[in-house]
Structure 1
Amino acid sequence: MTIDHVDLSRVDLNLLVALDALLTERSVTRAAARVGLGQSAMSSTLARLRSLFGDELLTRAPDGMRPTPRALALAEPVRSALRQIQALVRRDDSFDPRTVERVFTIGLPDSTEVLLGPKLLAYLRAEAPGISLLLRSIDRIRILQELDADRVDLGIGLFSEGQSHHKQRLLYRDSYVCLLNADLLGIAPPISLDDYLRFPHVLTSLRETAHGVVDDALAKLGLSRTLAVTTPRFLAVPFLVRSAPVIATMHARLAHVFAGTLGLTVSPVPVSLEDVSFSMLWHASYDNDPAHTWLRRTLVRLAADADPRP
C-alpha cells in the first residue's frame, strides 16, 4: 500500500505510544506514569485518540477501564508498529552487553529455573552486569497473552505452537527417569514394572489435575498407579522422595541435579514415554532487538552445556 505522507503527517505518532500504554495498563493514571505524562494530559490524549479512531476505545468498568472491541483489534498492530519504529531508530552496532542496562522478564517453570538460572545469572554477572532478570512462574496457556501484552520478554518451557507473531526456538530435549530413595524402597535400579506399580508415586502437575503422561502410558497397557501426592512445584519433589518410600517420574536433567545434591537414585522408567522439547517463545517484534537477540543466543549456548547427566 502506498504511503500517503500528507495524510500521515497530520497524525501525532505519540498518540500511538499513549494508546499502547492505555491498552496495557487499562488505567489513565498508570498509563500516564508509564509514558511520563500528567494524568490530565493523558486524559486529553485519550480524548484525541477517541476522535482519531471514532471509537470510545476504553470505557469505565467496576474493575478499571475496559477496552472496546475496536481497541482490542488495534492493540497488536499498534504494539507491533511501535516495536518496529523502535528497532529502526536504535543503532544495532551500538549494543555492548558489558555496558547495556536492561531488565528482562522471563516466564518459566521452577524446574527450568533450577537448570538454567544459575548458569545464566553467573554469565550475566560476568559478561553483562547491567542486565538483570525478573523471573516469573507462568504456564503455557497464559504465556501467549503475557507476550502480547508486553508483560513478558521471553517464555521458556513446553509450548505448543503460538500465532504467526510468536517465534519459537528449541533449547533442548529431555527424557524421563525415575527418582527415588533406594534405601527407603529397598530396591536398586533399574526398577522393574512390578516395583514401579507396587510403590506410590509423586506427581508434578501445573494443571492441578491428578493425571499425567505416566498415567496415559499405563492406561494403554491396562495398568494404573497409586498417587501419594500431587504438587505443582518441581522443587518440592526431591524432598518428598527423600523422606518417604515413593517414586517420582520426572525429566532426566532435573532428576540428576536432585540426585547429585540430595543423594537420591535415578533409574530408567519401565514404561515407554516420549521425550519432551523445551523451547523459547517470544514476540516477533523483538526479532531484531539487539539485546533480546543476544539473550536468546546466550540461552541456547548455556542450555547446551546445562546437562548434568553422566
Structure 2
Amino acid sequence: MNPRIREIDAIDRKALANLDLNLLVSLHHLLRERSVTRAAQRMSLGQPALSAALARLRRHFGDELLTRVGNHYELTPLAVRLRSRTETALAGVERVFTSEPVFDPATSQATFRVLGSDYAMSLLGGRVGRLLAERAPNVRLRFELHTPSVIDRADEVLRDVDALLLPHGFLNDLPNLDVFSDSWVCLVAEDNPHVDEELTMEQLAELPWVLTYHSPSAFTPAARQLQMLGVEPDVRVVVESFLALPSFIAGTNRITLTQAKLAPLLTAAGEVRAVPCPYETVPLVEALWWHPTHDSDPEHVWLRSVFAEAGEQLFGATG
C-alpha cells in the first residue's frame, strides 16, 4: 500500500476512535429542537449533561452551533448544513447496527428511506404501507419528497437513501425496477368556458398553463414532448407538487397535464375535470432506483419485492 494512503488511513482511524456516537444523537436533537432544555427532554437527560455535550460539540466543530437571539436560539450557518447531514448519518448508523446475517421481515426492525413525488406516494404509499404492516410490523418506512436537486445528484443521494421512485428518462446507468406504467391527460376547470369535451392543439398554445417541475433538468415528460411538437406552453404557474394542481386550475382558464392514474383523485372534489390530450403522449413508466451497493443486500432485495408487488396489485404487471 502507498505510504501516504497508510498515513491518511491511520489518521482517519484515530479521528474515528476519538468520536463518541452519543454526541451524534445529542447533535441531532439540539439542531432539531434549537433548545438545550427541549433536547434534554427528548433524550430523557438532565440539562447539565446535554449542556456538557453541546460544549464538546462546540469545541469539536470550532463553532457555536446554537446562538442566542433574544429569548431563543438560532442555528449558525454551519449548524444549518449539519442538520440534514446528521439525520443521514444517524440513519446510516442505525442501518449498520440493525443489520442481520439473514433478513427476516417478520422480526426485523430495519428503517427504509425512499424518496419520491407526491404522485408516486399517493398511488403506491398506502399499498406498500399495508404490505409492511402485514409482513414486517416492526419495519419503519420514511417516504420523503424528492426535489430537482436530489434528482440532479441521484448518484450521490442514493448512497444515503434506500431508493428513489422516479419515471424513466431522468437517470442512467443505475439499477432499477419498473413498478407501474401510466399515461397522461389534461386537467381543466370544471367551468372553463373555453374547453368542451376535448382540447385542441390550438388551445394548448393559446391558454395559460400550470406546469410541474418546469426547468431544464426537471420537467413533465409530456410537456417536454409538447415543446418538441412546436407548441410552447404559456406557463403562468410552476408548482413542485402534483396534488396541488387543482388549486391552481379551479376557477381559472388555466390548463395542465397530469398522470391518468392520479386524475380520479384530483377531480374527486368536482372543481376540475380531466380531458384527453389532443396528441399522443409518451407513456410514463415509474421505476424504483437504487445504488449498485444495494444489489445483493437481502433487506433491499426484500424492499424491492414489496414495491414490485404493490405496483402489480394496484395496476398489473408492467411491460
Fold match by TM threshold 0.5: yes
- Match for residue 75 of structure 2? 66
SS at match of 2:185: strand
- Match for residue 258 of structure 2? 250
Q: Distance in 2 between matches of 1:245 and 1:279?
A: 33
8 Å contact kept, 1:108–1:138: yes
Q: How does 1:42-121 map to 2 (within 5 A)?
A: 42-51=50-59, 53=60, 55-62=62-69, 64-67=73-76, 69=78, 72=81, 76=85, 80=89, 86-93=94-101, 95-100=103-108, 108-121=116-129
8 Å contact kept, 1:179–1:265: yes
Q: Distance in 2 between matches of 1:77 and 1:41?
A: 20
8 Å contact kept, 2:66–2:79: no
8 Å contact kept, 1:115–1:254: yes
Give the fraction of aligned pairs with identical amino acids, expressed as a percent: 26
- Residue by residue over 1:61-88, the C-alpha shift from the partner in whole angstroms, topping out at 9 and shown as x without a partner, is 54734246499579849964x6665455
- Match for residue 135 of structure 2? 127
Counterpart of 1:60, as a letter, is: T
8 Å contact kept, 1:102–1:130: yes
After superposition, the Cα gap between the structure-2 partners of 1:2 and 1:233, relative to the gap in structure 1 and judged at 3 Å, is closer
- Match for residue 164 of structure 1? none
SS at match of 1:129: coil
Q: Distance in 2 between matches of 1:234 and 1:61?
A: 39
RMSD: 5.8
After superposition, the Cα gap between the structure-2 partners of 1:98 and 1:7, relative to the gap in structure 1 and judged at 3 Å, is closer
- Match for residue 302 of structure 1? 310
- Match for residue 279 of structure 2? 270
2:165 to 156, 159, 162: 156
Q: Distance in 2 between matches of 1:16 and 1:243?
A: 50
Q: Distance in 1 between matches of 2:274 and 2:317?
A: 13
Could you tell me how far 1:60 is from its partner in structure 2? 0.1
1:15 to 10, 23, 34: 23
Give 5+ residue unaligned stretches, structure 2: 1-8
Q: How does 1:229-240 map to 2 (within 5 A)?
A: 234-235=242-243
Q: How does 1:193-208 map to 2 (within 5 A)?
A: 193=201, 197=204, 203-205=210-212
Counterpart of 2:63, as a letter, is: E
Q: TM-score, normalised by structure 2?
A: 0.58
- Match for residue 178 of structure 1? 185
Q: Distance in 2 between matches of 1:91 and 1:212?
A: 38
Could you tell me how far 1:41 is from its partner in structure 2? 0.5
Q: TM-score, normalised by structure 1?
A: 0.59
Could you tell me how far 1:112 is from its partner in structure 2? 1.5
8 Å contact kept, 1:287–1:293: yes
Could you tell me how far 1:118 is from its partner in structure 2? 3.2
- For this pair of structures, how many residues does the alignment match? 292
SS at match of 2:54: helix
SS at match of 1:92: coil
- Residue by residue over 1:133-152, the C-alpha shift from the partner in whole angstroms, topping out at 9 and shown as x without a partner, is 5655564447999x98xx98
Q: Distance in 2 between matches of 1:71 and 1:79?
A: 14
8 Å contact kept, 1:177–1:251: yes
SS at match of 1:113: helix
2:36 to 28, 39, 56: 28
- Residue by residue over 1:108-139, the C-alpha shift from the partner in whole angstroms, topping out at 9 and shown as x without a partner, is 43321232123213322322234465655564
